[in-house]
Amino acid sequence: MKTLLLTTVLTFAAGAALAGGHACYEGKTLTEGKLTVATGNPAYYPWVMDDNPASGMGFEAAVAYAVAEEMGIAADDVTWVRTSFDEAIQPGAKNFDVNMQQYSITAEREEMVDFSSPYYSAAMAVLAVGDATSTPAELSALKELKWGAVGSTTAVPKLIETIAPTSQPLLYGDNADVTAAMQAGQIDAALFDLPTALFLSAVMIEGSKIIGQFPAASSETPDQFGMLMEEGSALKECVDAALASLTESGKLAEIEAQWLQDTTGVPLIAE
């Protein structure tokens, strides 16, 4: 009964959106009337809960459904696919309309693909292990650590340009490998976006601690996550409009508050 009601409401809402002339997405998605969203394989907490994006649980899953709804696409019409980063950027036809995997928006990437306007501004955080957990949150001290990062993330330029470690950092394929290297004592610290760092510190790496963050807002080039789309995607304006109205209504901030931990209390790194 409840399902029926929900469906009716959603159908009505979609109909209303159509009637209101909001059907911006029409003719612009892979499958008419449906939104295909890509996530990682596997997708990680807290971005997607239990590797099950269709549940709508987790920050990126929730944002995807909110954007779809805002565009006038029913939840049932949102389908999920999985891609790697390389699949996301390879030339040729894409198998998704939008791809959400904490992709940071950069000018260089934007030459090759399109990004929506940002749905999250991520602070970069320093996760340290062992003796390094007592390192003060100052650049001069951080320089001396043995650093690691995931090679495919914007943590790499941040690390090299801002922290500029004295010994060459080690780079890895994914979060799991960075975790392994920390546990093996091969690196003292690694740079992640703050929500990921919070998750790794709480759940994955025993004895680790977040010793500081580079606040997203104060940074010259803030790390902002956008939905990745094929270059020249016609859908971009619809997605951007949806995100703008979600921001305005405070809905986006609500989702963030629900799924991403409170990040206050992590000390800021002194220049």
Partner 1 sequence: MSRTRRQIYEDKLRRRSLLIAGASSLAVFAAVIILVPLAPGWEKVAKSFFNWSVFQRTFPGLIEAFLQNIMIFAWSAPMIAILGLIIALMRDVRSPVLFPLRIFGAAYTDIFRGLPVILTVYLIGFGIPGLGLPRPWNSPYIWGTVALVLTYSAYVAEIFRGGIDSVHTSQRAAAQSLGLSERDTMRYVILPQAIRRVIPAQMNMLIALQKDVALLSFIGPVEIFRQAGVFKSLMANFTPYVGAAMIFLAVTIPATRYADYLMSRQAKERS
Q: Which residues bind partner 1 (CB under 8 A)?
A: 85-86, 89-92, 106, 108-109, 111-113, 146, 148, 151-154, 156-157, 168-173, 177, 180-181, 183-187, 231
CB 269 within 8 A of CB 210: no
> Least distance from C-beta 172 to partner 1, angstroms?
6
Judged by CB, which is closer to partner 1: 1, or 184?
184
List the beta strands (DSSP E) in the chain.
35-39, 78-82, 98-99, 114-115, 120-122, 124-129, 147-150, 170-172, 189-193, 208-214, 223-225, 228-229
Sorted by sequence, the CB contacts under 8 Å of residue 251 that are 6+ apart come out as: 66
Q: How far is the CB of 38 from partner 1 (least distance, A)?
A: 15
Question: Residues 203, 208, 211, 213: is their CA dihedral positive or negative?
Answer: negative
Cβ distance to partner 1 smaller for residue 51 or 231: 231
Question: Cα–Cα distance between 193 and 223 in angstroms, integer?
Answer: 8
What three-state secondary structure class fits 225?
A: strand
Closest CA to 157 of 174, 175, 169, 145: 169
Q: Closer to partner 1 at the Cβ: 78 or 132?
A: 132
State in angstroms the smallest separation of the CB of 78 from partner 1.
Answer: 25
Minimal distance, residue 234 CB to partner 1, in Å: 16
Q: Which is nearer to partner 1, 68 or 191 (CB)?
A: 191
The CA distance from 207 to 129, in Å, is: 6
Residue 62 CB, shortest distance to partner 1, in Å, is 26
In the complex, minimum distance from the CB of residue 105 to partner 1, in angstroms, rounded to a whole number: 11
DSSP state of 104: B
Measured from the CB atom, the residue of 90 and 249 that comes closer to partner 1 is: 90
* Residue closer to partner 1, measured from CB, 54 or 204: 204
* Nearer Cβ to partner 1 (49/88): 88
C-alpha distances in Å from residue 63, one per residue of 87, 117, 119, 162, 180 = 22, 13, 8, 31, 31
> Phi-psi bin for 164: left (phi > 0), alpha (psi -120 to 50), beta?
left
CA distance 9 to 201: 41
78 by DSSP, 3-state: which?
strand
Closest CB 187 distance from partner 1, rounded Å: 8
